[in-house]
Amino acid sequence: MGAVVDHPLEALEQALNAERRALLAHDVDALLSSTADKLAALRRAETLPPEAAAAAAERLTALRVLNQANSVLLARRRREVSWALRHLGRVESTGVYDSTGQPGARPQARCLGVG
């Protein structure tokens, strides 16, 4: 995990920037670490008094925009991985959930050639 920062919004900004770097570098370990840091910073930010959040409205908007940009990158990475797996004949997700709310992905292997 990253260094501890005193202010939750500063920690959130650092985590979002680390997340972006990890997505651009295709670094899974850094992505997992930055996601954990982001969630911890969000939990800390939720404890801020409402007047502190109101005073930081502009910064919160900038952080929301950064998070949305990361979301776009993450969606692109997921599409790239799904495309690669599909073309390699590997596992494809069904995109459905079972009765317990868990992803109901069932492996659907395909043969790439006929013998």
pLDDT in tens, 48-92: 888 887 888 899 999 999 999 999 999 998 899 888 888 887 765
Residue 103 pLDDT class (50, 70, 90 cuts): low
Domains of the chain, by residue range, sit at 8-87
What's the pTM?
0.69
Identify the residue whose tokens are 């910073």. Answer: 41
Q: Which of 19, 14, 12, 59 is nearest to 39 (CA)?
A: 12
Residue 17 pLDDT class (50, 70, 90 cuts): very high
